[in-house]
Amino acid sequence: MPKIELKNVYKIFGEDPQSVLPLLQAGTTKEEILEERDHTVGLDNVSLSIEEGETFVCMGLSGSGKSTLIRHINRLIDPTKGEVLVDGVNVLKFSENELLELRRHEMSMVFQRFGLFPHKTVMENVAYGLEVQGKELEDRNSIAEDQIKAVGLNGFEHQYPSQLSGGMQQRVGLARALATDPGILLMDEAFSALDPLIRNDMQDQLMELQSKLHKTIVFITHDLDESLKLGDHIGILNGGKLVQVGRPEEIIMNPADDYVTAFVKDVNRAKVLRAKTIMLSPENYPVNGKASGETIKVREDRFIEEFLPQMLEKRAVVEVIDNDGNTSGFITEKELAQSLTKN
């Protein structure tokens, strides 16, 4: 069962969205609806499933519906039509108290502009969600200290947000979100306001934490490189429609339409594609399923950029092996060239 599921979700902003919904369902474009009915289409029949423990990245240009989508998950926004399920339960049917409990214990959100309390210290900011949950001071300080250490801010517990850099403030926001031990972490353009180097550090930090914590993360961004780096799966929105969902390598190798193609055309494929994605299976390898000449062994999950220099230097065939050391395929210069130049 998916951790999060959206089923046929529509969101129309305006005075009478229900009157506009049949027009959208009949094929009227969002531009026509805006011009003729003065309503804005946020989401247009979006359905998706997010598995427990994965990082799902939702990507698109400004106005594509990314932030609208993520705010449906914790019901900061309610849909015009559709269902939003968490652990198989439709949260649209929750009472105010049930919704409050969901937000307090099951979900946390990290915002683009940090959202820290300027009059509270780092410790107090990180512990705030625990205070809302009703935990005792000693317990919440102990948990907050652990989270502050986890994001590399030990020693800054008694500083105020104004005394921290942007990257440090966002680390505080991440620590605060993790302190309540939520199953779901919602991150809306969380790193977009940071300088490139700091942003890259925060991405690495998130990946390191996720490798240990295995939270269900929904991450919103307009940056393709960030999507490809962080996402187990990526969903691409265009004009409120979900136009493609897939693993990073699937998005790169098989874009669904011209919109996605335009997004991925300048991507450095060597940073995204893994050995298992481009290899020939042993039965399709021309020399009886065995490598001829010099070979180098590479694990299935290695990115092309990790073995490319050695492969080219030695003019070698890559023998791809699984976790048990068994041969699962081969990569020659032909497969390499095709994968790096495919349109």
Give 285 or 206, the one with higher predicted confidence: 206
Q: Are residues 232 and 204 in the same domain?
A: yes
Neighbours of 266 (CB within 10 A): 8
Q: Are residues 287 and 184 in the same domain?
A: no
Domain boundary among 268, 286, 305: 268
Instruction: Indicate whether 108 pLDDT > 70.
Output: yes
Q: Are residues 233 and 293 in the same domain?
A: no
Q: Are residues 211 and 309 in the same domain?
A: no
Q: What is the mean pLDDT of the chain?
A: 89
pLDDT confidence band for 316 (50 / 70 / 90):
confident
Domain of 124, CATH number, reads 3.40.50.300
Instruction: Indicate whether 194 pLDDT > 80.
Output: no
Q: Are residues 150 and 29 in the same domain?
A: yes
pLDDT (mean) for 191-197:
80
Per-residue model confidence as pLDDT tens digits over 261-282: 988 888 888 888 888 888 888 8
How many Å apart are CA 237 and CA 235, to the nearest integer? 7
At 39 the pLDDT is 96
Q: Are residues 139 and 280 in the same domain?
A: no
Would you give the distance in Å from CA 129 to the centre of its chain? Answer: 23
Q: Are residues 17 and 107 in the same domain?
A: yes
Cβ pair 124, 179 in contact under 8 A: no
How many Å apart are CA 166 and CA 174, to the nearest integer? 12
At 189 the pLDDT is 86
Give 268 or 247, the one with higher predicted confidence: 247
Strands annotated E in the chain: 4-13, 40-50, 55-59, 81-86, 89-90, 107-110, 184-188, 216-221, 233-238, 241-246, 295-299, 317-321, 327-331
Q: Are residues 139 and 250 in the same domain?
A: yes
Domain boundary among 243, 268, 293: 268
Domain hosting 290: range is 275-341
pLDDT (mean) for 33-48:
96
At 55 the pLDDT is 96
At 289 the pLDDT is 47
pLDDT confidence band for 291 (50 / 70 / 90):
low
Domain boundary among 246, 268, 290: 268
Token digits of residue 166: 């942007």
pTM: 0.85
